Amino acid sequence: MNNKKGIFIVLLLTLTIGFAQEKPKDSILPESLDEVLIKAVRVKEDAPVTHSNVTKEELEKRNLGQDIPILLNYLPSVVTSTDAGAGVGYTYIRVRGSDASRVNITINGIPYNDAESQGTFWVNMPDFASSVQSIQLQRGVGTSTNGSGAFGASLNILTESISKTAYAEINTSGGSYNTQKYNVKFGTGLLNNRFEFSGRLSRITSDGYIDRAFSNLKSYFLQGVFKTDNTQIKALTFGGKERTYQAWYGIDAETLKTDRTFNPAGMYFDEEGTMQFYENEVDNYNQDHYQLHWNQRYNTRWSTSMGLNYTYGRGYFEQYKEDADMEFHNLTPVEINGDLLTETDLVRRRWLDNDFYVITGSANYKNNQWDIIGGVFYSLYDGDHFGEVIWAKYYGNATTNNRYYEGNGKKTEFTFFTKATHKINNKFTAFLDLQQRFVGYKTAGITSDKIPLVIDEKYNFFNPKAGITYKINKKHHLYASYGRAHREPRRSDFENGVTKAEKLDDYELGWRFKNRKNSINTNVYFMNYKDQLVLTGAIDDVGAPIRATSGKSYRLGVEVDASLRVLKTLQWNPNFTISTNKNNNFISSIDGELQNLGNTNISFSPSIVAGNSIVYTPLNNLQVSFLSKYVGEQYMGNTDSKTSVLDPYFISDFNIIYKLKNIPVVKEIVFTGLINNIFNINYISNGYFYTYDDTWSNPGTTTTIEGAGYYPQATRNFLIGAKVAF
């Protein structure tokens, strides 16, 4: 379908909102105003979209300082990793083999993925889980959302809801690797039944499992709400400041055998030839978010939502560079004792300074047969990239804070969509979701490699989605859905010469069972890609993964997750995913010649991922959980090279929670203990794979040399914490 037809259909369906007002047969329960806020990007329990919901209470069980990806580790098809090895600092999530840059993240419907890199940097919002009300993870294309398309999943986060009563909390925790977390929270409760103010201040520090991979993280969350029966205006600001020692280089196989915590970041040799480490090889970044949301309910049928956002990010990472080219860094060569020095040791900072503006709005009409929502979204991103030399052993006639490159990127997006759910009868419910995205990206200046980057690209995407749910009876539902998504390249793709957008057709078929005690969700998915940008396995000079277009590829799998009440005091929550993930007729250069390798495995896509939790509650105030995660063998490249294999791993955690209630002065005291990797497994959850052509060893021939790097994760470690609630 061409784009003009797509625009026409979206507009036509949007207009039906005003005409779909047949008389309801039954009374309609009004939705809460928080539901109105996120309805544009979330789905209901019976929707034909594969999803998992996580509540605030579930997050609190293990929220002792580790970041949101680690807290979501036991969801279906999820694989997590962390640079520092222990879940604090830079953390990552993959869903169905897709990395975080392909997982669409929204906070109250506002995109959180960086507009240019499309990455999600949780380290910029430490302890954000302490201000989250609920999370919905939609696997696959999911429903239309704001920001770049979901190519593996979308993660929709709702922040703290209104508390009717006043409260205060003090949370503290600590454990292995000198990890410490402190936060205070407060809420005024509803004042005059109209106003509520709440907030949080947090600090997390950790030395990290990897050498020198420390984190010093601070964050805040402040919210004010005005509320009537039909109006909710919510103003909030949140953000963080992070300072983390770099640990993104990994280690090679030989070092892994002898010193798995070794960190090469900041390494240099002094004049005596002794190995040293630069103490300030750090990432230093601030990010502040300002949001305003107005949700209005006019009656049981009509409601609207409008949101505004401004995000300000700025910061740098600092590097010590030995024997750096002076001319490259805009330094004048220096003559000493008759010798012209063209290289020098120096310290440089590479900066990002960006602004992100968003306006979004939606209108919703619902009765007993129809639930229709139409909306618009506009965003503007303006980001500066520049590098400066802050110290050099030899300066020539240059001055400090010398800039050696500057560039800028501007990205705009305009999206409008309509979603309709129609209850055909008591058995069938149909779903239609039509979205049109207009994306523009323009750059100027040079890259950090001092290569001109002048891009002016525009993309126009029509993304239809449709599904149907069949209600066999109250306990059993079947659903089927189709969804299309497009995704524009990110800045690093443009730097590597990629301008073509990706396309995904996602087919889902599922069965849901639920009764008073148990629930089972099973689905089969087929994700068919064209021009998918797969990770090559290689990383750039700042540890970011490099991608390449793979032509045609697919992911085919089955997912099962369940919640089973074995005994009154015993709950079992297993899940597993079995999949095959293939590049079709993958072509790669080997020994100087392009070769068709046939169907190869897509990088970082294990064929088996399984999670499990057994929750035992012998007393009302005591809960004990045993959690396990299995991740099968995966390749770090796309050529099925044995060098690129990451071994499978099976790890287990132990979690205990004990609550003291009815205590004078305080409402409750909650003690939490967590032992991660309880069986002390040496495992690796992430790494990189690289190749290069050797033309020197055998003149006249080309030999492809392969290598790999690894990010070891922590062995047995623990965290304990206490919450005092007033």
- Residues 38 and 362: their CA atoms lie apart, in Å, by 10
463: Cβ–Cβ under 8 A, 6 or more apart, which residues? 141, 144, 149, 434, 435, 436, 437, 483, 484, 485, 486
Residues 373-388 have a mean pLDDT of 96
- Structure confidence at residue 547 as a pLDDT band (50, 70, 90): confident
Higher-pLDDT residue of 131 and 152 is 131
- Rounded Cα distance, 123 and 137, in Å: 20
pLDDT at 39: 78
Percent of the chain residues topping a pLDDT of 90: 80
Spacing of C-alpha 112 from chain mean position: 8
Domains in the chain, number? 1
Integer angstrom CA distances of residue 652 from 52, 368, 511, 630, 679: 21, 46, 29, 9, 7
The residue segments making up the domain with residue 233 are 3-725
Is the predicted pLDDT of residue 13 greater than 60, yes or no?
no
* Alpha-carbon gap, residue 88 to 82, rounded angstroms: 7
pLDDT average, residue stretch 584-599: 86
**CB within 8 A of 245, min separation 6: which ones?**
208, 212, 213, 214, 215, 263, 265, 266, 281, 282, 283
pLDDT digits (tens, 9 = 90+) for 271-306: 899 999 999 999 999 999 999 999 999 998 999 999
3-state SS class at 620: coil
For CA atoms 136, 137, 142, 147, the dihedral sign is: positive
* 344-362 residue pLDDT tens: 999 999 999 999 999 999 9
Task: Give the chain's radius of gyration (CA, Å).
Answer: 26
Q: Per-residue pLDDT for 74 more than 70?
A: yes
Among candidate residues 159, 176, 181, 156, the one with its CA nearest the CA of residue 72: 156
Residue with more model confidence, 1 or 258: 258
Dump pLDDT digits (tens) for 504-543. 999 999 999 999 999 999 999 999 999 988 888 788 777 7
Residue 434 CB partners (closer than 8 Å, separation 6+): 6, 9, 10, 13, 144, 417, 418, 419, 462, 463, 464, 465
Residues 421, 431: contact at Cβ < 8 Å? yes
pLDDT score for 398: 59
Q: What is the DSSP letter of 256?
A: H
Half-sphere exposure of 438 (CA within 13 A, CB side): 11
Of 600, 557, 611, 556, nearest in space to 689 by CA = 600
Task: Read off the pLDDT of each residue in 590-609 and give the average, rounded to a whole number.
Answer: 91
How many whole angstroms separate alpha carbon 474 and alpha carbon 318?
A: 59
- The model's confidence at residue 237, banded by pLDDT at 50, 70 and 90, is very high
For residue 286, report the phi and psi dihedrals to the nearest 5 degrees.
Answer: -120, 140
Query: Is residue 535 a contact partner of residue 544, using CB atoms and an 8 Å limit?
Result: no
CA–CA gap between residue 146 and residue 110 (Å, rounded) = 7
pLDDT in tens, 168-218: 999 999 999 999 999 999 999 999 999 999 999 999 999 999 999 999 999
CATH code, 200: 2.40.170.20
How far from chain centre, in Å, is Cα 190?
Answer: 33
C-alpha closest to that of 122 among 217, 203, 231: 217
Q: In b/e form, how buried is each residue of 271-302, taking b as 16+ CB within 10 angstroms?
A: eeeeeeebeebbbbbebbbebebbbbbeeebe
- The bridge status of strand 153-159 relative to strand 103-107 is parallel
Residues 295 and 33: beta-carbon distance below 8 Å: yes
- Reported as a pLDDT band with limits 50, 70 and 90, residue 401 is low
pLDDT confidence of residue 608: 98
Q: What's the token pair of residue 418?
A: 């309509």
Look at residue 530 in the predicted model and tell me its pLDDT.
Answer: 94
414, 438 contact by CB (below 8 A): yes
CB neighbours of 412 closer than 8 A, spacing ≥ 6?
A: 378, 379, 380, 381, 439, 440, 441
Instruction: Give the pLDDT band (50/70/90) at residue 557.
Output: very high
Q: Is residue 297 a contact partner of residue 363, using CB atoms and an 8 Å limit?
A: no
pLDDT score, position 11: 42
* Model pLDDT, residue 400: 55
Q: What mean pLDDT value characterizes the chain?
A: 91
The whole-model pTM stands at: 0.91
pLDDT of residue 35: 73
Residues 193/698, Cβ–Cβ less than 8 Å = no
Burial of 522 (0-12, 13-18, 19+ CB in 10 A): middle
d(CA 591, CA 585): 18
User: d(Cα 651, Cα 607) in Å, to the nearest integer?
Assistant: 17
Q: Mean of the pLDDT values across residues 457-464?
A: 96
pLDDT number for residue 4: 47
Q: Is the pLDDT confidence value at 150 over 70?
A: yes
Structure tokens that stand for 236 in this block: 């909030």
Higher-confidence residue of 119 and 3: namely: 119
Per-residue pLDDT at 14 exceeds 90: no
CA 536 → CA 71, 93, 163, 221, 273, distances in Å? 28, 18, 47, 38, 36
Residue 498 DSSP code: -
pLDDT band at 19 (very low <50, low <70, confident <90, very high): very low
Cα dist. 654→32, 62, 622 in Å?
36, 10, 14
Distances (CA, A) of 169 to 25, 202, 721: 46, 12, 13
